[in-house]
Structure 1
Amino acid sequence: MLLAVLIANSEGNILVERFNGVPAEERLHWRSFLVKLGADNLKGVKNEELLVASHKSVYIVYTVLGDVSIFVVGKDEYDELALSEAIFVITSAIKDVCGKAPTERLFLDKYGKICLCLDEIVWKGLLENTDRDRIKRLIRLKPPTDF
């Protein structure tokens, strides 16, 4: 299961978070842990260079894209390899929406579309859509024409 998708700015402020199957009392722990992990390890990392960690029997894959840091947390069948696929789809969708690697301002300007993309990519803790063209069609808020 994909436990969390979290996107933060360079100062560690959380811009978007999606938790699945994580109790409310544990979410604060995960927020602070992921932000600290990013602060400790993401200095000088190139765009979309993946870093991997594990904590409490879960896997974490994280990266930098422009001015934002993206963290994906999973367990069981969502190991490092599956999470790297998920984070690749998420970064691709964000670049498609923003037109390039986003600054924080551009990310916040496109916040609504980015949230729609995340909702189409991850559904109830499962990686749902990985096809870029399908995601683009789904976020237009028009009924799908192909089944």
Structure 2
Amino acid sequence: MEFGRIHCVVVATKAGEVVYERYYDRFTELDKAEIRAAFQQATDSINLANDNQDFVGAFREGCFVLIPTMDLVFYALGSGEYDEMALSGVLRVIMISIADVVGKPPTESVFFEKYARIASVIDEVVNEGMLEAVDKELIRKGAKGKGTWE
């Protein structure tokens, strides 16, 4: 029985410039470049005007999901129990959590303005390649650096 995991979360502009990337497995730089290339190839073959629509692709033995929103594209690569549906849910939780914590929908300018806070939000949602927190209050407290017991 394979449990699987989330291998990476990447956020890029619609032009393809990576704004944020987090790998939860040990990938070589060549592997990371191949993952980015697969994401970019998938992005080039779809209509990015379809905001908040899920698109799915395959990479090696895993799958990935991309969701364009405003001027960004959110990607997640996973395997095992983290199939297309699970990855889509993870990305949606990340997008909603960013909007809740930062107070604005995720855009390129918001990412650069609040980068550290957004990175901590993503780390609260996905921890070591597993979905960790989906509760708004837990994510908000974690992003502020407070324990859930406070």
TM-score, normalised to structure 2's length?
0.88
Displacement of 1:98: 3.7
> Which has the higher mean CA deviation after the structures are superposed, 4-13 or 100-109?
100-109
Per-residue Cα deviation, 1:47-88 (whole angstroms, up to 9, x for no partner): x21111222121111101221100011001111121121111
Any runs of at least 4 consecutive aligned residues in structure 1 with deviations exceeding 3 A, and if so which?
none
User: Please, which of 39, 44, 47 is the counterpart of residue 39 of structure 1?
Assistant: 44
- The answer to whether structure 1 residue 145 and structure 2 residue 149 are counterparts is yes
The 8 Å contact of residues 13 and 72 in structure 2, kept in 1 or not, is answered as yes
Amino acid of the structure 2 residue aligned with 1:38: T
Amino acid of the structure 2 residue aligned with 1:54: A
Query: Within 1, Cα distance between the matches of 2:143 and 2:58?
Result: 32
User: Please, which of 7, 17, 21 is the counterpart of residue 11 of structure 2?
Assistant: 7
Displacement of 1:22: 4.1
How much is the aligned-residue C-alpha RMSD, in angstroms?
Answer: 1.6
The 8 Å contact of residues 65 and 91 in structure 1, kept in 2 or not, is answered as no
- The answer to whether structure 1 residue 55 and structure 2 residue 59 are counterparts is yes
Displacement of 1:35: 2.0
Pairs within 5 Å for 1:77-96: 77-96=81-100
Identify unmatched segments of 5+ residues in structure 1. Answer: none
Per-residue Cα deviation, 1:111-134 (whole angstroms, up to 9, x for no partner): 111100111111111111111221
- The answer to whether structure 1 residue 27 and structure 2 residue 37 are counterparts is no
Query: Within 1, Cα distance between the matches of 2:99 and 2:69?
Result: 9
Amino acid of the structure 1 residue aligned with 2:107: T
Per-residue Cα deviation, 1:6-45 (whole angstroms, up to 9, x for no partner): 0001210001001122421311110122122123214221
Query: Within 2, Cα distance between the matches of 1:100 and 1:49?
Result: 19
Identify unmatched segments of 5+ residues in structure 2. Answer: none
Query: Within 2, Cα distance between the matches of 1:38 and 1:95?
Result: 23
Amino acid of the structure 2 residue aligned with 1:80: E
Q: Number of aligned residue pairs: give it.
A: 145
Query: Within 2, Cα distance between the matches of 1:41 and 1:82?
Result: 21
Amino acid of the structure 1 residue aligned with 2:50: V
